[in-house]
């Protein structure tokens, strides 16, 4: 068996977005458990939509995590509620007591394709180099 790897010559590494307010689209939303705390969380993969306005041709996807309140710390629970509410308001997701996720994959199909705004940061990462993060979700630019 031979594999054609000529595509490697055309590879364009994804680029960082600058620290800015950016319009994003939900590429994937998955319900699961946090590896560090064991608590419930939603993993989001977000794609910048206005990268060209910031001189970025091939933006990196942005990973963000929404944790659920767990009853262990009132301040953390309040932060988790606020972060989830800000995301839902920014992306037009209905805030209800029930969120439908696929029983097998945990995927949340009703959130995929939703668009919203967030203030982006550039964060250091010792393993992979700098990456974009979400400072906060906003309603619009």
What pLDDT, on the 0 to 100 scale, is given for residue 8? 62
Tokens 């977005």 locate to 17
What pLDDT, on the 0 to 100 scale, is given for residue 35? 85
What pLDDT, on the 0 to 100 scale, is given for residue 95? 78
Q: For the chain, give the number of residues.
A: 141
Query: What would you report as the CA-atom Rg of the chain, rounded to the nearest whole angstrom?
Result: 17
What pLDDT, on the 0 to 100 scale, is given for residue 98? 79
Show me where the domains of the chain are located: 15-138
What is the rounded distance in angstroms from the CA atom of residue 137 to the CA atom of residue 39? 22
Q: Which of the residues in the chain have pLDDT under 70?
A: 1-9, 97, 140-141
| Whether the Cβ atoms of residue 105 and residue 30 lie closer than 8 Å to each other | yes
DSSP string, 70-116: -SS-HHHHHHHHHHHHHHHHHHT----S-----TTT-B-GGGTT-EE
């Amino acid at each position: 068996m031979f594999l054609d790897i000529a595509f490697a010559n055309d590879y364009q590494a994804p680029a960082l977005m600058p620290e800015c307010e950016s319009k994003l689209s939900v590429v994937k939303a998955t319900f699961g458990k946090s590896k560090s705390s064991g608590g419930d969380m939603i993993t989001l993969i977000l794609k910048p939509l206005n990268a060209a306005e910031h001189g970025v041709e091939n933006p990196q996807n942005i990973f963000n995590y929404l944790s659920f309140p767990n009853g262990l710390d009132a301040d953390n629970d309040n932060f988790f509620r606020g972060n989830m509410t800000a995301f839902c308001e920014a992306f037009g997701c209905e805030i209800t007591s029930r969120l439908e996720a696929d029983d097998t994959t945990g995927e949340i199909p009703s959130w995929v394709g939703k668009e919203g705004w967030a203030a982006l940061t550039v964060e250091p990462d010792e393993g992979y180099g700098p990456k974009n993060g979400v400072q906060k979700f906003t309603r619009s630019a």
